[in-house]
């Protein structure tokens, strides 16, 4: 009797293992939903829509793109964190969802550990621009002017990449400017062009047309490398603040507990789509550089950036409801 019981237990375990393996092999058996916690039309939206067509061919299922904006990306992030870890729901957005938001929002709505990094898709930086009427053409000239008189700068909002990047710059270079937050980089850019605010640290694609037309002067970019769209503009480190780097990423996440074979299959389809020559070229034109990291590499970068931006947020006492 005991022997028979052991055989039944072993058979049940084997059947369970086969069932799981078959389910994973069969993935995806239905359309795959990628949730974006931001409005349509932004960088994350553009990237996933470029990649989706190629991913659908590889995965043999439709990619459903679902924009769920709100609370700085927290609403959509919380929905994915609570989703079933079966490979049917994914989160695509900026790294700030897990590197900045936990440090500044009083009510996050989800646990960072409930989101598993899948890959860093692309990296991008911010561009420091000023209105020509200010009369500065280099970062050092701006720093000197800011030390001599009261100046302000625009960003796309409190806690966004441009805001934190500028606060890090001020801390490292020893100067102060008054922050003027806007609801997005587009209205911020318009007010810098109109000289309501003299400068801004803003998304490259938003300011690029105005730099090329001469309506704005580009002083430096925030990343470790120069922008592919503004190769003649130095990085902030090259322009006189050694050690400065403020790169940001668009990241794919899965609900914690999603089986690793599913994560790897989805990651590979996504990375292959991003690295297709036509997609890579379109992304370069929008000031984004394709990365396509492993899950482990993504987790390491996010952990380091969370510490860096947490320190900046605490330094400026940034808190959001």
Question: CATH number, domain at 163?
Answer: 3.40.190.10
The reply to whether 54 and 138 lie within a common domain is: no
DSSP state, residue 235: B
DSSP string, 55-106: HHHHHTS-EEEEE---GGGHHHHHHHHHS-SSSSEEEEEETHHHHTHHHHBS
Helix (H) or strand (E) holding 255: strand 248-255
Q: How far is CA 67 from the centre of its chain?
A: 15
Residue 194 structural domain: 126-221
User: What CATH code is carried by the domain that includes residue 275?
Assistant: 3.40.190.150
Per-residue pLDDT of the chain (321 residues; tens, 9 = 90+): 555 555 444 445 444 443 444 444 589 999 999 999 988 877 888 899 999 999 999 999 999 999 998 888 999 999 999 999 999 999 999 999 999 999 999 889 999 999 999 999 999 999 999 999 999 999 999 999 999 999 999 998 888 899 999 999 999 999 999 999 998 888 999 999 999 999 999 988 889 999 999 999 999 999 999 998 999 999 999 999 999 999 999 999 999 999 999 999 999 999 999 999 999 999 998 889 999 999 999 999 999 999 999 999 998 888 887
The reply to whether 176 and 92 lie within a common domain is: no
For 172-197, write each residue's pLDDT tens digit: 999 999 999 998 888 999 999 999 99
pLDDT of res. 18: 39
pLDDT of res. 70: 87
Bond from prior residue into 97 cis (ω within 30 degrees of 0) = no
Q: How far is CA 222 from the centre of its chain?
A: 14
120 neighbors 301 (Cβ within 8 angstroms)? yes
The reply to whether 108 and 137 lie within a common domain is: no
The reply to whether 80 and 43 lie within a common domain is: yes
Q: Is residue 164 part of a domain?
A: yes
Q: Is residue 42 part of a domain?
A: yes
pLDDT of res. 25: 56
Residues 6+ apart with CB under 8 A from 6: none
Distance CA 127, CA 230 (A): 9
202 neighbors 189 (Cβ within 8 angstroms)? yes
Cα 154–Cα 234–Cα 187 angle in degrees, nearest 5: 20
pLDDT of res. 301: 97
The reply to whether 268 and 306 lie within a common domain is: yes
Q: Is residue 8 part of a domain?
A: no
77 neighbors 286 (Cβ within 8 angstroms)? no
293 neighbors 120 (Cβ within 8 angstroms)? yes
- Domain total in the chain: 2
Would strands 248-255 and 115-124 be described as parallel, antiparallel, or unpaired? Answer: antiparallel
Torsion of CA 227, 231, 237, 238, to 10 degrees: 170
Distance CA 187, CA 62 (A): 35
Please state the pTM of the whole predicted model.
0.84
Q: Is residue 165 part of a domain?
A: yes
């Amino acid at each position: 009797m005991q022997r028979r019981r052991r055989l039944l237990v072993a058979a049940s375990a084997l059947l369970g293992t086969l069932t799981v393996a078959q389910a994973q092999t069969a993935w995806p058996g239905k359309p795959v939903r990628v949730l974006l916690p931001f409005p349509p039309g932004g960088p994350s939206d553009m990237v996933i829509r470029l990649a989706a067509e190629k991913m659908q061919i590889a995965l043999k299922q439709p990619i459903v793109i679902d924009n769920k904006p709100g609370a700085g990306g927290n609403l959509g992030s919380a929905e994915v964190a609570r989703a079933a870890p079966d490979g049917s729901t994914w989160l695509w957005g900026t790294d700030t969802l897990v590197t900045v938001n936990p440090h500044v929002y009083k009510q996050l709505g989800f646990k960072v550990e409930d989101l598993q990094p899948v890959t860093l898709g692309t990296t991008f930086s911010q561009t420091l621009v000023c209105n020509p009427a200010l009369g500065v053409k280099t970062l050092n000239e701006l720093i000197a002017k800011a030390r001599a008189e009261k100046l302000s700068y625009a960003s796309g909002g409190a806690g966004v990449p441009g805001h934190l990047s500028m606060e890090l710059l001020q801390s490292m270079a020893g100067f102060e400017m008054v922050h003027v937050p806007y609801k997005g980089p587009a209205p911020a850019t318009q007010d810098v062009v109109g000289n309501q605010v003299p400068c801004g640290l803003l998304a490259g694609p938003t300011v690029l047309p105005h730099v090329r037309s001469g309506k704005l002067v580009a002083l430096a970019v925030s990343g470790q490398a120069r922008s592919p769209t503004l190769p003649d503009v130095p990085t902030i480190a090259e322009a006189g603040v050694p050690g400065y780097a403020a790169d940001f990423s668009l990241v794919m996440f899965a609900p914690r507990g999603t089986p690793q074979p599913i994560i790897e299959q989805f990651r590979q389809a996504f990375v292959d789509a991003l690295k297709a020559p036509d997609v890579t070229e379109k992304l370069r034109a929008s000031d984004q550089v394709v990365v396509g990291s492993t899950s482990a590499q993504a987790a390491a970068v996010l952990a380091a950036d969370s510490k860096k931006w947490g320190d900046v947020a605490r330094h400026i006492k940034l808190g959001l409801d």
